[in-house]
């Protein structure tokens, strides 16, 4: 059963099988063009496969938006080392719940995407790294993998072509940081999920120190439609520099929260009003997170004329991110929102880089103090300064992910922080010796 | 240490899933699946996993302390995880967390004396569009209301709602 009603405004490419009876079963998949793209790819040269993905203008769907075809082209095909496919299914970005559905309702599309990636770089094994909380998906994927072996789409001599590929599921155990590609690779090797220094990038030195294609679930799921119907057809759905559709997760103060597949370049206003049914309780929009809590927050005014597209978001100094759209209405307490976001990053910082480990912990303490009514005027600037000192000073993007939304909230909603200064602390906290910073 | 036949089969499959010499990769999945069966990661389990993948026990300990879903002490039979991250916060998740604490009289990562329920305030569990969300063990509960939460806690305690 689907989690939310589809919207008539959706363009269903990756989600076209959602809602079909028994949609996860291989028979349903085969009856709806399943594994046709694999058959086509088996006749293509690796160069042509990568070229088709480049033509599609598919950009990474995990958050960074790096062109997928280009990423694949960095893998040294002639390297004597084995190559690997790794699927990032560690979906943990707050506001994001789309990969879960792709795996639950159409696991074979993901497997087919992995197989095509394997043909492109001559890989013979692939791992789906699934966050620990998504245990039920391991059962679904293991079943789908078993079906694929049984029908000759996985294993030795795939479809009689001599090509061989094995696919495995691998569970995480609760760590946001493992969604970062190099930390994920460490975790896959049975280690703490701390990031690696790059370069070398995973395309050259990835899983088990070998060349690796590492992409988000949604990126791999886009590959079968691209190969089947051509890269151009996919590209044409989107905008010039970003092809296709994006699964968008609407959450927060919205009438019809849910996951919707919308073409790149979809207007934000139309998305909120028509796809999402408007703001709850007829209220007004106050703040908008475009793609997960790591993105700088936009005000309602900044959303005017905005479209859901990588470059349009970059022009407003934010990111399309993972597609986790969070809607905040006029009554949202932005100090509390900033605190909750920072509590998350402080909890998830792996501790490897000092600016992130210390920065997130201190920002959490200062925001907590502020939210408790114990803040002082100097804290407002201090929050911004501390956050800015984290930017670009860490091995992985978690430091930036914590700093960027915080800077945007303090700058854009400074009046709310000022208003907190006039609040009386609760009696239980009034005597606490917390004012260590003047 | 002996495990159920299902778990042994899972271990065998895991150990065969990674390239030769890379059996250490099986560590985290082995700990997770074993924890599901045994209730927690005991010192005995650490030693056993270390032995099977060819590392020292301290190498396993170093890893397990990093991951929030691996526990050294047993949790409740029902581990109730309330998300209060941003999407859940906006839709009442923080209030649900307060409600769960006050109804059960326990706090973050605490277990009821009878071992039936444990509580944890968790970070985003990937149910943002169906917030507020709770996970009981691995089971998701979406669009949780205060009434639904009371009913859920009552059924987990196997008592009538008035006793919760």
Q: What is the pLDDT of residues B12-66, one digit of tens each?
A: 999 999 999 999 999 999 999 999 999 999 999 999 999 999 999 999 999 999 9
Q: With contact defined as beta carbons under 8 Å apart, do A94 and A127 qualify?
A: no
Q: Cα(first)–Cα(last) distance of chain B, in Å?
A: 39
Q: Which of A23, A69, A253 is nearest to B86 (CA)?
A: A253
Q: Measure the CA–CA gap between B114 and B28, rounded to whole angstroms.
A: 29
Q: Which residue in chain B has the smallest CA separation from A251?
A: B129
Q: Measure the CA–CA gap between A28 and A17, rounded to whole angstroms.
A: 8
Radius of gyration for chain A, computed over Cα atoms and rounded to the nearest angstrom? 23
Q: Measure the CA–CA gap between A57 and A238, rounded to whole angstroms.
A: 9
Q: CATH says B5-66 is which class?
A: mainly alpha
Question: What ipTM goes with this model?
Answer: 0.95
pLDDT at B158 (0 to 100): 72
Query: Which CATH architecture is the domain B78-157 placed in?
Result: 3-Layer(aba) Sandwich (3.40)
The answer to whether residue B159 scores a pLDDT higher than 80 is no
Q: Given an 8 Å threshold on Cβ–Cβ distance, is A132 in contact with B32? A: yes
SS3 A298: strand
CB atoms within 10 A of CB B138: 16
Q: Which residues of chain A have pLDDT under 70?
A: 425-438
Q: Measure the CA–CA gap between A354 and B161, rounded to whole angstroms.
A: 48
Size of interface A-B (CB pairs under 8 A): 144
Which has more pLDDT, B158 or A265? A265
Asked whether this chain's domains B5-66 and B78-157 adopt the same fold, the reply is: no
Would the pTM of this model clear 0.90, i.e. be above it? yes
Q: Extract the tokens encoding B143.
A: 């669009």
Listed by start position, the domains of chain B span 5-66, 78-157
Q: For A102-255, where are the E strands, in sequence order?
A: 125-130, 166-171, 212-216, 245-252
pLDDT at A335 (0 to 100): 96
Q: Which residue in chain A has the smallest CA separation from B62?
A: A192
Q: What φ, ψ does residue A355 adopt, rounded to 5°?
A: -60, -35
**C-alpha distances out from residue B5 to A381, B2, B44, Å:** 60, 9, 19
How distant is the Cα of B30 from the closest Cα of chain A, in angstroms?
9
Torsion sign across C-alpha atoms A161, A129, A209, A73: positive
pLDDT at B160 (0 to 100): 43
Q: Which residue in chain B has the smallest CA separation from A81?
A: B19
Look at the block and give the residue holding tokens 């990969």: A99
pLDDT at A435 (0 to 100): 53
Radius of gyration for chain B, computed over Cα atoms and rounded to the nearest angstrom? 18
């Amino acid at each position: 059963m689907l989690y939310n009603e589809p919207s008539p405004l959706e363009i269903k490419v990756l989600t076209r099988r959602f809602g079909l009876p028994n949609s996860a079963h291989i028979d349903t998949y085969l009856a709806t063009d399943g594994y046709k793209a694999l058959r086509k790819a088996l006749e293509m040269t690796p160069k042509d496969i990568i070229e088709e993905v480049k033509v599609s203008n598919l950009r990474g769907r995990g958050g960074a938006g790096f062109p997928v075809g280009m990423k694949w082209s960095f893998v040294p095909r002639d390297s004597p080392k084995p190559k690997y496919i790794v699927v990032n299914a560690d979906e943990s970005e707050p506001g994001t719940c789309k990969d879960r559905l792709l795996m639950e309702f159409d696991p074979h599309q993901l497997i087919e995407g992995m197989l095509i990636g394997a043909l492109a770089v001559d890989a013979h094994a692939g791992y789906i790294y699934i966050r620990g909380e998504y245990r039920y998906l391991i059962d679904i994927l293991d079943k789908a993998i078993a079906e694929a072996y049984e029908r000759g789409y996985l294993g030795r001599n795939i479809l009689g072509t001599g090509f061989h590929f094995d696919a495995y599921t691998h569970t995480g155990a609760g760590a946001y940081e493992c969604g970062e590609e190099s930390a994920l690779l460490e975790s896959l090797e049975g280690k703490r999920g701390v990031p690696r220094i790059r370069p070398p990038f995973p395309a050259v030195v990835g899983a088990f120190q070998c060349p690796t294609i590492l992409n988000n679930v949604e990126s791999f799921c886009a590959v079968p439609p691209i190969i089947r119907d051509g890269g151009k057809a996919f590209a044409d759905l989107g905008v010039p520099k970003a092809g296709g559709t994006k699964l968008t997760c609407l959450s927060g103060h919205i009438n019809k929260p849910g996951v919707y597949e919308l073409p790149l370049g979809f207007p934000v206003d139309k998305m909120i009003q028509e796809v999402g049914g408007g703001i709850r309780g007829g209220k007004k929009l106050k703040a908008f997170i475009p793609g997960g809590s790591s993105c700088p927050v936009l005000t309602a005014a900044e959303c005017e004329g905005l479209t859901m597209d990588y470059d349009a978001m970059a022009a407003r100094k934010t990111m399309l991110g993972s597609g986790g759209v969070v809607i905040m209405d006029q009554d949202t307490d932005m100090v509390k929102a900033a605190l909750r976001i920072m509590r998350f990053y402080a909890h998830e910082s792996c501790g490897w880089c000092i600016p992130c480990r210390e920065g997130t912990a201190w920002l959490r303490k200062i925001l907590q103090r502020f939210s408790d009514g114990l803040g002082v005027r100097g804290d407002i600037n201090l929050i911004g300064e501390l956050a800015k000192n984290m930017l670009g000073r860490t091995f992985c993007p978690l430091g930036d992910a914590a700093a960027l939304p915080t800077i945007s909230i303090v700058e854009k909603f400074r009046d709310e922080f000022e208003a907190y200064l006039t609040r009386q602390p609760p009696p239980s906290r009034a005597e606490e010796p917390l004012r260590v910073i003047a | 240490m002996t495990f159920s036949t299902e778990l042994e089969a899972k271990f065998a499959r895991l150990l065969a899933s990674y390239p030769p010499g890379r059996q250490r990769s099986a560590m985290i999945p082995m700990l997770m699946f074993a924890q599901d069966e045994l209730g927690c990661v005991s010192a005995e389990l650490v030693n056993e996993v270390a032995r099977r993948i060819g590392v020292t026990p301290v190498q396993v300990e170093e890893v397990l302390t990093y991951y929030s879903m691996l526990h050294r002490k047993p949790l409740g039979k029902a581990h109730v995880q309330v998300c209060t991250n941003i999407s859940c916060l906006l839709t009442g998740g923080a209030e649900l967390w307060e409600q769960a604490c006050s109804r059960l009289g326990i706090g973050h990562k605490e277990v009821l004396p009878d071992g039936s329920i444990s509580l944890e305030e968790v970070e985003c569990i990937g149910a943002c569009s169906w917030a507020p969300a709770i996970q009981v063990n691995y089971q998701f509960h979406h669009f949780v209301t205060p009434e639904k939460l009371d009913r859920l806690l009552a059924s987990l305690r196997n008592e009538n709602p008035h006793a919760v």
